[in-house]
Structure 1
Amino acid sequence: MDRAEKTALVEQLNATFKETAVVVVTRNLGLTVADVTDLRGKMRAVDADYKVAKNRLAKIALEGTQYAPIADMLVGPTALATSADPVAAAKAAHDFAKGNDKLEIVGGAMGDVVLSADEVKQLASLPSLDELRAKIVGLVVAPATKIAQIAAAPAGQLARVFGAYAAKEDA
C-alpha cells in the first residue's frame, strides 16, 4: 500500500467516524476469509459496516473525531464495526461472536462515551431503531383499532340477531 492509498484510507475512515453513531472494536482471533465474508454480509443486512484497517492508520483517522478515546483499544488484529443505528453494529457483532469464538468484542464507543466489552453486549440486547419504530406504530394504532371494534360490535350483534330470526322462520 503506497502513501496515496494510505492517505485515502485515512480520509475515508475519518469521514466514517464523523458520520457514524457507534463504533465497535473487535479482535480477530483466527477468522477465516469465509467467516469474515459472512460477518460482513450480516453487517450489511443491518446497514452496518465492518472494516479491517491497520491500527496505525485507524488511530490517525480517529484524531479529531469524538471516537479518539478508543485508540487505546486498537492493539493486535482488530477490526471496526460502525453504523448509523446505535444498536445495529453492536447487535450484529455480538450475535456473530456468540456463534464464533474466534471473534472477540474488545469495546467501542457511542458518541464520546467509551464502552467496555460488557457495555457493548448490553447495547446489543436493546431493540434496534426499526424495532422501536414498529412498537411505537403499534401503540399508536392500537387505540384506533379498539375504537373501530367497539363501534362495529353493536351492528354485528344486531346482524346476528336478524340472522337468527331469519334462520328460525326458514325452519
Structure 2
Amino acid sequence: MDRTAKAELATMLGEVFNTSGVIVVAHYAGLRVAELQKLRKDAKQAGASVQVAKNRIAKIALEGTDVAGIAPLLQGPTLLAYSSDPIAAAKVVADFAKTNDKLVILGGASGSTALNVDGVKALAALPSLDELRAKLVGLVQAPATKIAQVVNAPAAKVARVFGAYANRDAA
C-alpha cells in the first residue's frame, strides 16, 4: 500500500469515526475468509459496515475525533464495525460472536462515550431503531383506538335501550 492509498484510507476512516453512531472493535484472528464475508454480509443487511484496517492508520485517523478513546484497543488483528444507527453494528458483531468464538469483542464507542465489552453487549441487547419506531407507532395508535371505542360505546348503549323498549312494547 503506497502513501497515497494510506492517506486516503486514513481520511475515509476519519470521516467514519466522526459520523458513525457506534463503532465496535474486535479481534478476528482465526476467522476464515468465508466467515469474515458472512459477517460483512450480515452487517450490510443490518445497515452497518465492517472494515479491517491497519492499526497504525486507524490510530492516525482517530486523532482529534470524539472516539479517540478506542485507540488503546487497536492492537493485534482488529476489525472495526460501524453504523450510523447507534445499535446496528453492536448487534451484528455480538450476534456473530455468539456463534463464532474466534471473533472477540474488545470494546467500542457510542458517540463520545467509550464502551467496554459489557457496554457493547448491553448496547446490542437494546431493540433496533426500527423496532423502537414500531413500538412508538403502536403506542400512539393504541390510545386513538381506545378513544374511538369509548366515543362509540354510549351510542351503542342508547341503541340497545331503544331496542329494549321497542321489544317490550311489541310483546
Do these two structures clear the TM 0.5 threshold for a shared fold by scoring above it?
Answer: yes
Mind listing any 5+ residue stretches in structure 1 that lack a counterpart?
163-171
TM-superposed deviation, 1:89 = 0.6
Name the residue aligned to 1:53: 53
TM-superposed deviation, 1:154 = 6.6
Q: What does residue range 24-39 of structure 1 map to in structure 2 within 5 Å?
A: 24-39=24-39
Name the residue aligned to 1:130: 130
Deviations 1:131-152 (A, max 9, x none): 1111111100001112233445
Name the residue aligned to 1:105: 105
1:118 partner letter? D
Residue identity over aligned pairs, in percent, reads: 56
**1:156–1:42 CA distance, 2 compared to 1 (3 A):** farther
TM-superposed deviation, 1:77 = 0.3
Deviations 1:34-71 (A, max 9, x none): 11111111111111111000000000010111111111
Name the residue aligned to 2:147: 147
1:31 partner letter? L
Name the residue aligned to 1:86: 86
Structure-2 separation of matches of 1:21 and 1:147: 38
Structure-2 separation of matches of 1:126 and 1:114: 17
Structure-2 separation of matches of 1:155 and 1:52: 66
Name the residue aligned to 1:75: 75
Name the residue aligned to 1:14: 14
Deviations 1:10-34 (A, max 9, x none): 0100011111111100101211111
Deviations 1:109-165 (A, max 9, x none): 112211111111011111111111111111000011122334455777869xx8xxx
1:56 partner letter? R
Q: Any idea what SS the aligned residue of 2:64 has? A: coil
Normalised by the length of structure 1, the TM-score is 0.87
Normalised by the length of structure 2, the TM-score is 0.87
Mind listing any 5+ residue stretches in structure 2 that lack a counterpart?
164-171
Structure-2 separation of matches of 1:147 and 1:15: 48
Name the residue aligned to 2:40: 40
How many residues matched?
164
1:123 partner letter? L
Q: Any idea what SS the aligned residue of 1:101 has? A: coil
Structure-1 separation of matches of 2:156 and 2:82: 53
Structure-1 separation of matches of 2:135 and 2:65: 33
Structure-2 separation of matches of 1:70 and 1:98: 22
